[in-house]
């Protein structure tokens, strides 16, 4: 199973230049946009987290849509809970990869959007994002709509959020120790 995961992760790296291109474009748009917001005396949008989040979303789109031809997957629904786990090493690798795929979502979403720093909000947006991706895959024939994918994506978003939360708590603790609030 581990060799499938490693191979698939290495294969997914080919989409990183696409994501980085989108991120660089986003960076320049955000710099200009923040200049306009500053003139209007509005809060600036956090450039680096937003750029990273949009880069991540571009890579997700490339992996889940652009890596497959339209109609290459027969349109199908798999609404059976935990139907993909335990069949074979290949399917188990897909389950783990779906969890890994959404860990950055759970980290970057609350970093980028203040309103999503609450666990339940981040969880809901992660679930809706996964539902959106699965629905689009079904409609375009570029993938299967699987309840297991939504579940594992949400687990990944939760793991990412817990990582974000732990780091944020450590930062708060360090600030308090150094006398900064």
pLDDT of 101 above 90: yes
What are the tens digits of pLDDT across the range 14-34?
A: 998 999 999 999 999 999 999
> How does residue 84 score in pLDDT terms, banded at 50, 70 and 90?
confident
pLDDT of 85 above 90: no
What are the tens digits of pLDDT across the range 140-158?
A: 888 888 999 999 999 999 9
Long-range contacts, stretch 3-8, CB < 8 angstroms, 24+ apart: 4/89, 4/90, 4/93, 5/93, 5/96, 5/97, 5/100, 8/93, 8/97
What are the tens digits of pLDDT across the range 38-79?
A: 888 888 888 999 999 999 999 998 888 877 666 555 567 888
Where along the chain do its domains lie?
2-177
pLDDT value for 69:
63
Q: What is the DSSP letter of 45?
A: P
Compute CA distances 54 → 19, 29, 47, 131, 173, whole Å: 8, 12, 11, 18, 29
> How does residue 133 score in pLDDT terms, banded at 50, 70 and 90?
very high
């Amino acid at each position: 199973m581990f060799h499938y995961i490693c191979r698939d992760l290495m294969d997914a790296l080919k989409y990183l230049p696409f994501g980085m291109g989108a991120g660089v474009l986003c960076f320049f748009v955000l710099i200009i946009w923040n200049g306009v917001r500053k003139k209007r005396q509005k809060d600036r949008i956090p450039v680096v987290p937003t750029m990273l989040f949009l880069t991540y979303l571009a890579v997700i789109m490339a992996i889940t849509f652009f890596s497959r031809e339209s109609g290459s997957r027969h349109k199908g629904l798999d609404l059976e809970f935990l139907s993909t786990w335990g069949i074979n090493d290949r399917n188990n690798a897909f389950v783990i990869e779906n969890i890994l795929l959404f860990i950055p979502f759970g980290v970057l979403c609350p970093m980028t959007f203040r309103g999503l720093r609450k666990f339940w909000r981040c969880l809901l947006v992660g679930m809706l994002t996964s539902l959106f991706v699965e629905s689009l895959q079904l409609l375009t024939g570029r993938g299967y709509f699987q309840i297991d994918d939504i579940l594992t994506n949400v687990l990944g978003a939760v793991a990412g959020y817990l990582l974000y939360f732990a780091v944020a708590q450590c930062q708060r603790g360090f600030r308090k120790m150094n006398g900064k609030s």
